A and B are shown apart, each in its own frame.
Chain A
Amino acid sequence: MNRHQTKAWLYLLPSILFLGLFMVYPLFDVLVYSMEEGYNFASQTYFGVGLYNYSYVLHDPYFLQALKNTFILVIITVPISTGLALLISLGLSSIKFLKDLYQTIYFLPYVTNTLAVGLVFMILFQKTEYTDGLVNLVLSWFGSSPVDFINGPYWAKMFVLCFYTIWVVMPFKILILTGALASVNPDYYKAAKVDGTSAFRTFVRITLPMISPMMFYLIITGFIGAFKAYSDAVALFGTDLNAAGMNTIVGYIYDMLYGNSGGFPSYASAAAILLFAIILTITCMNMMVGKKHIHY
């Protein structure tokens, strides 16, 4: 190692220390925990090393329910929220009148507290002994019988969760996409206009490739964010998510650590490693697809 490299490592040292201590070590520790069978938190002892924790988690019906919920959430919310955000941003960038007002309105959910929003959603959707809730009132105008979206059937609860998630994640995506759309040089559109390009073709062949890096960024972070969903479910259905059948993978990990059934850091670690593996796989798949369609 020559003098130059020594200096470089010296400059890197603070961030390496921080990252190592608070990122790499915990990650590694989680992996170690997940392998320790029969770990006792109080006595800090364990019986052996192996894959039993994984086997337990993968056979736990609560985990399987959480896995199913999370996948449904991801598959529904990521495409819909990204698509809707794109539509809204296109709308926003093509109007002039009241544009700032609309932009503010669309951004409001981003600065609003998750739990407060959850409360509002509960009031909108919950059916109690005294009232059917606002949404049911509207539904009854179309001749539908009231549905309890908070404590009722599974599909109704999943609908509310997806609706809520989409509503919460959209503002950021709209913000990013309006920025991306504004950064496309207007000369491209002029050139397309001179050549008589239809609006649809202009969008597909010019606009979309131009903003593809931003779309890609939003899809990747969207997937990761949705896989890590937890607080949204808590805001709507309370802390006992297993009972409500609306648990997510992160929710399951939390419950294993601190919940009513808590005190099992090994199971929690195994679930966390599984989640990590899932996210890693999906992101790699995204990257592979992205390579073909992203134009930097």
Chain B
Amino acid sequence: MEIRLQNLTKKFPNRNKKISNDVIAVDHVTFTIPDGKLIGLLGPSGCGKSTTLNMICGLETPTDGTIFFGEQDVTNLAPEHRGVGMVFQNYALYPHLTVRKNILFPLENLKGKNKLSKDEMMRRVNQAAALVQLEELMDRKPAELSGGQQQRVAIARALVKMPHVLLLDEPLSNLDARLRLQTREEIKKIQRSTNITTVFVTHDQEEAMSISDFIVVMKSGVVQQIGKPQEVYDDPANLFVAKFLGTPPINVFSGKIENGMLVIDGASVLPLEAVLKPLNQPDTSKGIDKSKAEQRVVIAIRPEGFVPCNDGPLCCDLQGVEVMGRDISIVAQHAACEAVLRAIITADTKVDSANDTIRFALKPEKVFLFDYETGERIRGLV
């Protein structure tokens, strides 16, 4: 089922009585989730992603804006009438009930014409359990299960009602690293086989990138960018998105534009045309004026955008070389870079870690320019 959020806003009253302003958790969020897709809501803690999820679920009422499930306005509908299933961060499995009874619980709530017969209930429970491979654990209590198994029970409990929408709040954060990889594949698989529109919340960009059909990056209640994971990674809308996606993080330099060249700390690293495309329509808000003699910009370079090269323009102090098998990570320092510089290169390239400095050439498609003041992406030339 397609989910449409229009101008969704949520304000919470401020706990601090001296400040009368409300806290705006979600600020005029508008986006559409296509039917049958897996969407990752991504952002740092406190960015409003969980609040957005709770509003889709119906646990929170929006201060403003509307939510559509298909053509139906569900903004003021109670959660049980929306046809949603929810998996909580700590799973919220009832500890005194067995796995079977936990999964059965939502079905026992159905009343009136929706009421199911005992046999039908058991059939649905077994079906949901089979989907997440829980058949052998049905008579155990949640405390007797591992984290990954508990997670699967929570998913089965959410799916047993056959919801139109499945919502997952930080589904993997309580699992250890190995299980996390495995479980996220499972979530993807279950989503594919059931074809339920699924929204999940995470602060882990790797998690979101790896399984989502689309990601929605949020910050301070505002949507920063929506798109396919690779597109967002390759074409960030602003500095925040560029910094938030990718491990190791993107390397951020303060630089300048001089005479049509990108300059970092006096060194001309790339011609402007290599990074920016000419814009057809004059749009000063997104483009940059080539005729301007000098302009300060933020230059962000992905770790894989560096090429070690003896006559490369960017000279850095070499601090160390970390071997990771397939790749090498070069740790270096540069006066114009706000943090330690990290470059990822293939292990075939030989780097002499005894050297004090290292010179890099840059891959233009891995270099992004941002406005020095606003952090907005500079996409083209005017």
Contacts and interface: CB of A to CB of B under 8 A. Distances in A.
Contact of B92 (A188, A197, A198, A212): A188
Given A187-B88, A198-B109, A201-B109, A193 B79 contact: yes
Contact of A197 (B81, B90, B96, B109): B109
B105 interface: yes
Contacts of B94: 188, 205-206, 209
A190 B92 contact: yes
Contacts of A195: 80, 105-106, 109, 161
B79 to A, nearest CB: 5
Contacts, number: 53
B78 interface: yes
B59 A194 contact: yes
A143 interface: no
A185 interface: yes
Interface centre among A196, A205, A210 (most CB of B within 10 A): A196
A196 B78 contact: yes
Interface in A179-202: 185, 187-188, 190-191, 193-198, 201
Contact of A190 (B81, B88, B105): B88
A195 B87 CA distance: 11
B85 interface: yes
A205 B105 CA distance: 9
A295 interface: yes
Interface string B62-91: 000000000000000011110011101110
Nearest to B57: A194
A193 B79 CA distance: 7
A194 B84 contact: yes
Contacts of A205: 94, 105
Nearest to B85: A194
Nearest to A195: B106
A187 to B, nearest CB: 4
Contacts of A201: 109
Contacts of A194: 57-59, 79-80, 84-86
Interface in A257-275: none
Contacts of B110: 196
Interface centre among A194, A195, A206 (most CB of B within 10 A): A194
B96 A190 contact: no
Nearest to B167: A194
Contacts of B59: 190, 193-194
A201 B157 CA distance: 17
Q: Majority SS of interface residues in chain A?
A: helix
Nearest to B88: A187
A127 to B, nearest CB: 51
Given A197-B109, A198-B109, A191 B79 contact: no
Interface centre among A191, A196, A206, A210 (most CB of B within 10 A): A191
Interface centre among B59, B96, B105 (most CB of A within 10 A): B96
Interface string B151-175: 0000001000100000000000000
Contacts of B88: 187, 190-191
B86 A295 contact: no
Contacts of A185: 90, 92
A196 B58 CA distance: 11
B312 interface: no
Contacts of A190: 59, 86, 88, 92
Given A209-B96, A295-B95, A196 B90 contact: no
A161 to B, nearest CB: 37
Contacts of B81: 196
A206 B101 CA distance: 12
A209 B105 CA distance: 14
Given A196-B78, A196-B79, A196-B80, A191 B109 contact: no
Nearest to B84: A194
A190 B60 CA distance: 10
Contacts of B161: 195
Contacts of A210: 95-96
Contacts of B78: 196
A185 B88 CA distance: 12
B291 to A, nearest CB: 58
Contact of A191 (B92, B95, B96): B92
B95 A187 contact: no
A212 B80 CA distance: 28
B105 to A, nearest CB: 6
A295 B95 CA distance: 8
Contacts of A295: 95-96
A195 B102 CA distance: 11
Contacts of B80: 193-196
A194 B106 CA distance: 9
Given A185-B90, A195-B80, A197-B105, 18 more contacts: A187-B88, A187-B89, A187-B90, A187-B92, A190-B59, A191-B92, A191-B157, A193-B80, A194-B57, A195-B105, A195-B106, A196-B79, A196-B106, A196-B109, A198-B109, A201-B109, A205-B105, A209-B94
In the complex, the 7 A-B pairs of residues with the closest C-beta atoms, listed nearest first? A196-B80, A295-B96, A195-B106, A187-B92, A191-B92, A209-B96, A194-B79
8 contacts: A187-B88, A187-B89, A194-B58, A196-B78, A196-B109, A196-B110, A197-B109, A198-B109
